């Protein structure tokens, strides 16, 4: 287990952030400008729906804009809906601007993730960003997770609050996946990095994956441990996806021999600005994690008496959590279940033959 010193933020920056934190919810733009990132955005090429995705299930609940740059995924009494990238990728940068459903959203899960469960059913890889709805007046929450080689029993989830209302405006959510690291972004702020460790072995995702976006009824677990269900009096629930980005090496999912061209594409990906957490970005990541993360498997000593090898223990984070990985009493907040395993449904390409995720 690697020990890192407390991440320090410059005194002027820390004071400005501390004052801003007292006036929640804070604008992400204020945060980003405070740490010196104002005006920055990733230099990526956005795609139309036809250039990037295909319906996964419930075509009748997928609405496309006239310019084909936006897809609206609906959940109603009939079904949820989902889309899947038209290709598989061996490493890449995957991104979308997403606007969540509003008002009463308990029991709803909106997911943006990569997976190859349809090809490698027993030893699949997966990288998740899942958004968990809530009762009216309570905030959305979200979680990230990493699976490799079918390691679903060794989930690596973290759960977070948001510093904005994701139903009022679109925000960009991104997943970077390279041979050496994984970074989850909200807008241009890195919220989590997983650095590949040799001891992870097959637990590090390494097989080609597709990219998915879905909305579905997860009443059994998503809100207050399943106590709050989807209320279809508020239907339809709409998740809007735009600014679609799929950058990486397109491969055949069963072809594990990379071409020289793919090697070049991966090298170029790893040289991109978003492929590294710079010192200034690490400041913003520390700010986010110390104020908005409310569960981390790395601090769950009940579940993992020995922390998984990729865990980097930050003392200032360690002090926030009980041995169960959840926040200590003084740091708790309302509206969410504690840490623990995600019980999400997964849909592969064969879900096109179903009305909703299995």
Catalytic site positions: 126, 130
- d(CA 7, CA 18) in angstroms, rounded, equals 15
16 and 26 Cβ atoms separated by less than 8 Å: no
Structure tokens at 85: 């990238």
Distance of CA 276 to the CA centre of its chain: 17
> What secondary structure does DSSP assign to 88-115, as a single string?
EEEEEEEEEEEE---S--TTEEEEEEEE
* DSSP character at residue 47: B
3-class secondary structure, 163: coil
Q: How far apart are CA 358 and CA 356, in angstroms?
A: 6
DSSP 279-337: HHHHHHHHHHHHHHEEEEEEEETTT-SS--TT-EE-HHHHTTB-TEEEBPGGG--SS--
User: How many Å apart are CA 189 and CA 46, to the nearest integer?
Assistant: 19
- What are 10's two structure tokens? 């410059």
DSSP for residue 81: E
Beta-bridge mates of residue 251: 88
Dihedral of the alpha carbons of 10, 16, 22, 28, in degrees to the nearest 10: -90
The SS3 assignment for 197 reads coil
The residues, any chain, with a CB within 8 Å of residue 257's CB and separated by 6 or more, are: none
- In 3D space, the residue among 4, 16, 14 whose CA is nearest the CA of residue 283 turns out to be 14
Find, among 119, 121, 181, the residue nearest to 146 by Cα: 181
Q: What are phi and psi of 96, to 5 degrees?
A: -160, 145
């Amino acid at each position: 287990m690697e020990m890192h010193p407390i991440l320090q933020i410059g005194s002027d920056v820390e004071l400005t952030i501390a004052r801003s934190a007292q006036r929640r919810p804070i604008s992400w733009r204020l945060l980003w400008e405070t740490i010196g990132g104002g005006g920055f955005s990733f230099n990526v090429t956005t795609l139309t729906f036809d250039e990037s995705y295909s319906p996964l299930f419930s075509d009748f609940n997928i609405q496309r804009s006239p310019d084909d740059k936006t897809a609206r995924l609906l959940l109603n009494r009939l079904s949820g809906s989902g889309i899947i990238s038209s290709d598989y990728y061996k490493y890449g940068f995957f991104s979308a601007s997403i606007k969540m459903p509003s008002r009463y959203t308990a029991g709803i899960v909106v997911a943006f993730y990569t997976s190859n469960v349809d090809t490698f059913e027993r030893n699949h890889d997966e990288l998740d960003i899942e958004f968990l709805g809530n009762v009216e007046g309570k905030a959305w929450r979200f979680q990230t997770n990493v699976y490799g080689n079918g390691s679903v029993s060794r989930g690596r989830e973290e759960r977070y609050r948001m510093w904005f209302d994701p139903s009022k405006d679109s925000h960009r959510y991104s997943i970077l996946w390279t041979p050496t690291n994984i970074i989850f972004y909200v807008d241009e702020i890195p919220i989590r990095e997983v650095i590949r460790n040799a001891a992870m072995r097959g637990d590090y995702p390494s097989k080609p994956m597709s990219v998915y976006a879905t909305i579905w009824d997860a009443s059994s677990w998503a809100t207050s441990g399943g106590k709050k269900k989807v209320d279809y009096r508020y239907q339809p629930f709409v998740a809007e996806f735009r600014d679609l980005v799929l950058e990486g090496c397109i491969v055949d999912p069963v072809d594990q021999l990379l071409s020289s061209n793919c090697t070049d594409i991966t090298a170029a990906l790893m040289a991109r600005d978003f492929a590294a957490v710079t010192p200034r970005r690490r400041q913003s990541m520390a700010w986010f994690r110390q104020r908005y993360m409310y569960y981390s498997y790395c601090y769950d000593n009940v579940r993992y008496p020995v922390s998984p090898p990729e865990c980097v223990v930050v003392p200032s984070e360690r002090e926030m959590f009980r041995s169960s990985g959840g926040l200590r009493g003084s740091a708790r907040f309302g509206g969410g279940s504690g840490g623990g395993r995600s019980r999400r449904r997964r849909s592969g390409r064969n879900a096109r033959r179903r009305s909703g995720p299995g």
